[in-house]
Structure 1
Amino acid sequence: MMTTTVKALMTHVAPGLHSTRCTNKVSVIGAGTVGTAIAFSLLAQNITSELVLIDKNESLARGEMLDIQHATMYLNSPQISSSSDYATTHDSKIVIVTAGSQNVGAGKIECTARQNTDIFKEIIPKVVTQSPDCILIIVSQPVDIMTYIAWKLSDLPPYRVIGAGTILDSARFRYLIAQRLEVEPSTCQAFIIGEYGRKSVPVWSAVSVSGVRLREVNPNLGTDDDPEDWQEIHKQVVESNIEVCKLKHAGSWGMALSISRLVRAITEDLRECFPISTHIKGCRHGVDKDVFLSLPCIIGSSGVVNIVRQNLSDLEKDMIQKSADYMNELQKKLMDR
């Protein structure tokens, strides 16, 4: 109901104004450190004009919402809401899932996957019921497995189910290479693909600077025979998330900025390339199993528009295949429970 103050302040002229559907509504499932950082990043960069924060702890979600809401005059006054009720997410363009345990230390991947699969069985059907046309972005760990689980539970086409995958690790990889070369990261092309974590694949064969492949300059780049030990950069990337968690308990801002860039590519149909976890069965690298691993993908308004066909070395292809085999076996255990 319109108050007297509102009536006095404004003349209402647009019929059905309050029922107009927002075309870039984003819902974030999970109001923990990562989910809240993503929500703030989306709003601060004016990527969405309507955001919903969902958490089973409704008080936590409301507290985070109010903390942001009180400063909306500095955020172009977006519409922000919070709830534990998934009906609030109705007609979301994008739903970002951060809910669940993030504990994926050594020997804990399978345990965390089992815990988060149970959580996904509860939340994914609710999400899709409210937003059947949405694009899912999965951030929960272990991200490749959970992206597959979300795909199976949602019954969405695979191009509309995206995992964060190696998007942040690739950014770290590019940054560290640029730092060693003393150039801006934007001048480098470098990707980490495959399985997130220690078994990820640094694509040394394709690292380039301003179009020059570094292996044309240093044929041993990234190999055991490299006297300059460029392999150390990949080790730093893998260990960096562990170090961040030790220093500040949980990483959040790097992932938040990465996911925000991904969301913008969807809402604005930018056709930008990101290394994200996607369904790779039948791709060029010989994988014949229903698994989600990171490959460079062109992202637009429909989700994954294209998967880039990289020319990988035999070693890189073998690493991808081994990860696919491992993922496939673990997925069977989780879905057969």
Structure 2
Amino acid sequence: MGKKNRKVAIIGSGLVGSSCAYAMINQSICDEIVIVGRNHDYALAQAMDLSHCADFTSTRTRVRAGYYADCQDADIVVLTAGANVKPGQTRMDIMADAAAITREVVSSVMASGFDGIFVVASNPVDIVTLVTAQVSGLPRHRVIGTGTSIDSARLKTLLADVFQVDPRSVHGYAMGEHGESQFVAWSHVTIGGKPILHIIEEHKLRFPDLDLSDIARKTKDAGWEIFTRKGSTQFGIGSAIAYITRSILNDDHRIIAVSAILDGEYGESNVCVGVPAIIGDGGIEELIEFNLSEDEQVLLRRSCDLVRSGMASIAIPS
């Protein structure tokens, strides 16, 4: 009896693409990974290096370098190729170049006959996710950006250090743009199931200097803290991609803060930002609409407007 081959194609053989592949291999997420890079020899070297992990993992994942034509029967295509942010730039500064690269890449993927799910990690991820949906013509639930998944993980790590708990016992989300206008939905952050706002109120003497706005700032700036020191981020975002991919292939129905195209949710439409979503084998199974506080609603609207201004500047219709 034949077993379905779970295949992922990764477009981009650089640090993020290879870190994503490494995480997938070590977590036995899929059966086959095809790496497609602009420089095929470099992609081939990455694939060879990654294939040598096989003896040290619980299951074997076949890894090879390939071409766009190999995306035809992939379950998921991961987009990591894009424009590089230079020192002093924001993710939004590179959006015109990123959009042009994305149009070329997605057109090539779709020409192969691909009919699966896109997971987008290229920055600015909210804009690139929307471009991917428009060029591919796929329904919005099958185009998923990594969004604020990595920012939410950074938030949990920071809070875990403050409250001395495992990060997996912290539940909460950064929302909005994966960038400067993101915000933490503090009204929905819990630790061990208890709202963090209640914990702070009940233990004022224990946490006298806790500044939630400073935690939110550190969450937002964490990527830049890394980037300014080593020129890239790779392991965290690579694991985020693997996490989303696993939820799709295993139909896990995990709730993850991803970049999703809104169609009336939160009162917003035709814009793509990070919101919690249920991720399963159909892609985005459902968007979770939090009952945000008035201040949080204002912050989400402001973030959506900023992404819209970016869309307008590169002639993406809203």
Q: Which of 149, 155, 158 matches 1:167?
A: 149
Shift of 1:331: 1.3
Comparing both chains, which one has the higher relative contact order based on Cα–Cα distances under 8 Å and sequence gaps of 6 or more? 2
Amino acid at match of 2:219: V
SS at match of 2:251: coil
**What is the 5 A alignment of 1:169-318?**
169-218=151-200, 228-283=210-265, 285-287=266-268, 289-318=269-298
- Residues 71-95 of structure 1 deviation map (CA, whole Å, 9 limit, x = unaligned): 4233433221103x21122210000
Deviation (angstroms), 1:197: 1.6
Q: Does the 8 A contact of 1:102 with 1:140 survive in 2?
A: no
TM superposition shift of 1:66: 1.1
| Identity among equivalent pairs (%) | 27
Structure-2 change in CA distance of 1:61 and 1:170 (3 Å) = same
- In the alignment, the residues of structure 1 paired with residue 154 and residue 130 of structure 2 have an alpha-carbon distance, to the nearest angstrom, of 25
Establish whether residue 43 from structure 1 lines up as the match of residue 25 from structure 2: yes
For residues 187 and 126 of structure 1, do their structure 2 counterparts lie closer, same or farther at Cα, with a shift above 3 Å needed? same
Q: Is the Cα–Cα contact under 8 Å of residues 268 and 300 in structure 1 kept in the other structure?
A: yes
Query: For residues 196 and 104 of structure 1, what CA distance do their matches in structure 2 show?
Result: 17
What is aligned with 1:79? 62
Q: Which runs of 5 or more structure 1 residues have no equivalent in the other structure?
A: 1-13, 15-19
Q: 1:56 corresponds to which residue?
A: 38
CA contact (8 A) 2:5 2:32 kept: no
Task: Check conservation: 1:147, 1:277, Cα contact below 8 A.
Answer: yes
Structure 1 position 219, deviation (Å): 5.5
Root mean square deviation, CA, Å = 2.2
Q: Output one character per residue of 1:114-158: Cα deviation in whole Å (capped at 9) or x when no partner.
A: 001111111101212324321101100011111111111110000
Task: Name the SS for the 2:38 alignment partner.
Answer: coil
Structure 1 residues 196 and 220: alpha-carbon distance in aligned structure 2, compared to 1, 3 A threshold: farther
Query: C-alpha distance in 2, partners of 1:156/1:21?
Result: 27
Closer, same or farther: CA 128–23 of 1 in aligned 2, 3 Å: farther
**Match among 38, 60, 67 for residue 49 of structure 2:** 67
Deviation at 1:60, TM superposition (A): 0.8
CA contact (8 A) 2:83 2:101 kept: no
The 1:49/1:290 distance shift into structure 2, 3 A limit, reads same
**Residues 114 and 334 of structure 1 are in contact (CA less than 8 Å); yes or no, is this contact kept in structure 2?**
yes
Output the CA distance in 2 between the equivalents of 1:307 and 1:38.
25
TM-score, scaled relative to structure 2: 0.92
- The number of residues matched between the two structures is 312
* Uncovered stretches (5+) of structure 2, i.e. residues with no partner: none
The change in CA–CA distance for 1:220 and 1:146 in structure 2 (over 3 A counts) is farther
**Quick one: distance in 1 between partners of 2:86 and 2:202?**
33
Deviations 1:276-326 (A, max 9, x none): 00012200x211x30110111000000000111111011111111122222
Instruction: Output the amino acid matched with 1:265.
Output: S
Shift of the 248–229 alpha-carbon distance from structure 1 to 2, 3 Å rule, reads same
- 1:154-178: CA deviations, max 9, x gaps? 1000000000111011011011112
Runs of 4+ in structure 1 over 3 Å off: 20-23, 104-111, 217-221
Using the size of structure 1 for normalisation, the TM-score is: 0.87
Instruction: Indicate whether 1:96 and 2:47 are aligned.
Output: no
Matching of residue 132 in structure 1 with residue 114 in structure 2:
yes
**Shift in Å at residue 45 of structure 1?**
1.2
Inter-partner Cα distance in structure 2 for 1:177 and 1:149: 34
Is the aligned partner of 1:329 residue 2:309? yes
User: 2 CA distance for matches of 1:111 and 1:184?
Assistant: 36
* Preserved CA contact (<8 Å) 1:92 1:131: no
Compute the displacement of 1:101 (Å): 1.6
Please tell me whether the aligned partners of residues 267 and 301 of structure 1 are also in contact (alpha carbons under 8 angstroms): yes
Query: Is the contact made by 1:197 and 1:238 (CA closer than 8 Å) also made in structure 2?
Result: yes
- Residue type of the alignment partner of 1:176: L
* In structure 1, C-alpha distance between the alignment counterparts of 2:160 and 2:60, rounded to whole Å: 37
